[in-house]
């Protein structure tokens, strides 16, 4: 019975939503977006206490989380060897002996995320696995290089083989309420991506208010973003539950108004399995099962995988192992 329950919980939805084409800028809609900060914070505070996910169900949810991870290496000292190890872990994120005890087949992560210079190394190592390669772009993480260079950077990464492009928006457009400029910028980034999917990083910790987060989220979706993402992972404040609640509710509103699904990616500071469960609960409650898959939900993380693998080993053995026995790459 437990084996069947585990496989049923992990079954993927077969239908894939149409890609968000974007729409004309609708400032009336954008400016109508508000955020009741105290209510949002109260709701967010209950997320980790509303559900108690135990035993087989917890193992299934953690495996689902693994399949939605963008396994990431974005350090100035990245080398070809480090990216090779990252890709090897992406292909086999959970030890085979743990999966055998769970009676589950091998799984893989949602994507591998690297700088432009490491796309070729990732392509070589991932081969025909089908794991997407995401490249950060547009002057990541600050996004302050000239616009023509940021657009050229996207095109270079797509030509090099990136399937997804994680761009950073110009925070100044949000802070000065220049919504038309933000829309035009993201629209140009979307056009430069071509068939590659566009993930827009809002850097929410630098936007000043939850209302700004809501409005920037709407602008990016109107401009054709395939995903909206919280953070670069380099800011002082990265993904938080109140910010996530605001962003997923704008995704729900956009879907209700347009019929197009946009993905969500929390990133930065999510390193524990229990945090992953909280975020998955948020997605399930606010958006439903359709979003609980890698084409509409991702974790921007690396250390998270190590803790999930450790928790899964505890599930099958009853004992906790040392963290260093579960390297992420």
Residue of 265, 275, 295, 307 marked active site = 265
Q: Which of 70, 166, 226, 307 is catalytic?
A: 166
Predicted structure pTM score: 0.92
User: Are 80 and 117 within 8 A, CB to CB?
Assistant: no
Residue 307 lies inside a defined structural domain of this protein = yes
Alpha helix positions (H), the chain: 2-10, 27-32, 37-45, 47-50, 55-67, 80-91, 96-102, 119-126, 147-160, 171-175, 179-193, 210-222, 241-258, 273-286, 303-317
Tally of domains in the chain? 1
- DSSP labels for 115-167? -GGGHHHHHHHHTTS---EEEE-SSTTT--S-HHHHHHHHHHHHHHT-SEEEE
Residue 323: the pLDDT is 72
Active site residue 166: yes
Q: For residues 230 and 206, give the distance between their C-alpha atoms in angstroms, rounded to a whole number.
A: 10
pLDDT along the chain (329 residues), means of 10: 41 65 98 96 87 84 97 93 95 94 94 97 96 97 96 98 98 98 98 98 96 98 98 91 97 97 95 94 94 96 91 90 69
209 belongs to a structural domain: yes
- Given this model, what pLDDT does residue 197 score? 98
Any domain includes 142: yes
The sheet carrying 299-301 orders its strands as 263-265, 227-229, 197-201, 164-168, 133-136, 111-114, 69-72, 299-301
Going by C-alpha positions, the residue among 267, 290, 298 that lies closest to residue 110 is 298
Q: Which of 70, 229, 275, 307 is catalytic?
A: 229
Annotated catalytic, 265?
A: yes
Confirm whether 180 is domain-assigned: yes
Residue 7 lies in a domain: no
Decide if 184 is catalytic: no
Q: What is the CATH number of the domain that holds 185?
A: 3.20.20.70
pLDDT of residue 8: 43
Q: What is the pLDDT of residue 296?
A: 98
Report pLDDT for 49: 78
Q: Is residue 121 part of a domain?
A: yes
97: containing domain: 23-325
Alpha carbon distance 305, 20 (integer Å)? 29
- Domain annotation covers residue 113: yes
Helix 55-67 vs helix 273-286: crossing angle, to nearest 10: 90
Name the residue among 10, 109, 7 with its Cα closest to residue 61: 10
- Cα-atom radius of gyration of the chain, to the nearest Å? 19
Please report whether residue 232 resides in a domain.
yes
């Amino acid at each position: 019975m437990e084996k069947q329950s585990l496989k049923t919980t992990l079954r993927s939805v077969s239908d894939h939503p149409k890609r968000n084409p974007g729409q004309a800028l609708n400032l009336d809609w954008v400016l109508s977006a508000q955020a009741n900060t105290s209510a949002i914070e109260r709701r967010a505070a209950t997320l980790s206490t509303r559900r108690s996910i135990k035993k087989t169900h917890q193992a299934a949810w953690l495996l689902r989380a693994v399949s939605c991870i963008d396994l990431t290496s974005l350090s100035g000292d990245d080398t070809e060897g480090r990216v090779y190890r990252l890709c090897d872990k992406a292909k086999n994120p959970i030890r085979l002996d743990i999966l055998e005890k769970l009676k589950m087949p091998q799984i893989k992560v949602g994507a591998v995320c690297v700088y432009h210079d490491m796309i070729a190394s990732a392509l070589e190592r991932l081969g025909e696995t089908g794991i997407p390669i995401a490249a950060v772009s547009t002057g990541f993480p600050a996004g302050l290089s000239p616009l023509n260079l940021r657009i050229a950077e996207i095109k270079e990464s797509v030509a090099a083989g990136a399937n997804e492009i994680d761009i950073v928006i110009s925070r100044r457009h949000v802070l000065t309420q220049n919504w038309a400029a933000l829309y035009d910028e993201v629209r140009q980034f979307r056009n430069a991506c071509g068939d590659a999917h566009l993930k827009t990083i809002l850097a929410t910790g630098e936007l000043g208010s939850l209302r700004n987060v809501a409005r920037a989220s709407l602008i990016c979706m109107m401009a054709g973003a395939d995903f909206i993402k919280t953070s670069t992972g380099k800011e002082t404040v990265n993904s938080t539950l109140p910010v996530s609640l605001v962003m997923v509710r704008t995704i729900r509103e956009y879907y209700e108004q347009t019929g197009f699904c946009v993905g969500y990616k929390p990133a930065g500071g999510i390193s524990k399995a229990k945090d992953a469960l909280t975020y998955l609960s948020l997605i399930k409650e606010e958006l439903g099962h359709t979003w609980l898959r890698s084409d509409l939900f991702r974790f921007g993380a690396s250390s998270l995988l190590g803790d999930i693998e450790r928790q899964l080993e505890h599930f099958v053995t009853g004992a906790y192992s040392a963290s260093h026995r579960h390297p992420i790459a």
